[in-house]
Amino acid sequence: MQDLVIKVKKLRKQQGFSQMVLAERSGVSLGSIKRFEVTGKISLEALLQISLALNRIDDFENLFKADDTPKSI
């Protein structure tokens, strides 16, 4: 979880966003962003909104991707 926090914070800074700017662009409260960056706790919905604001929503595309190959018995 801490690795995810580090990556998101790094992306935020690389894009020149303060926590306040990210809150405004994502629609996630400033308090939620601060809490996430300190504790790693955040709702999935808020994490997706942040990812969208950071132009990284595609990173979720392969998460839990089902294997379409039929299993043999």
pLDDT digits (tens, 9 = 90+) for 21-63: 999 999 999 999 999 999 999 999 999 999 999 999 998 888 8
pLDDT at 66 over 80: no
pLDDT at 73 over 70: no
Please state the length of the chain: 73
Contact status, residue 54 vs residue 15, Cβ threshold 8 Å? yes
pLDDT at 68 over 90: no
What's the rounded Cα separation, in Å, for the pair 5 and 10? 8
Q: What's the pLDDT score for residue 71?
A: 72
pTM of the model: 0.84
What is the dihedral sign for C-alpha 24, 37, 4, 12?
positive
Q: How far is CA 2 from CA 27, 65, 67, 69, 72, in A?
A: 23, 23, 28, 33, 38
Q: Which two tokens stand for residue 9?
A: 């914070």
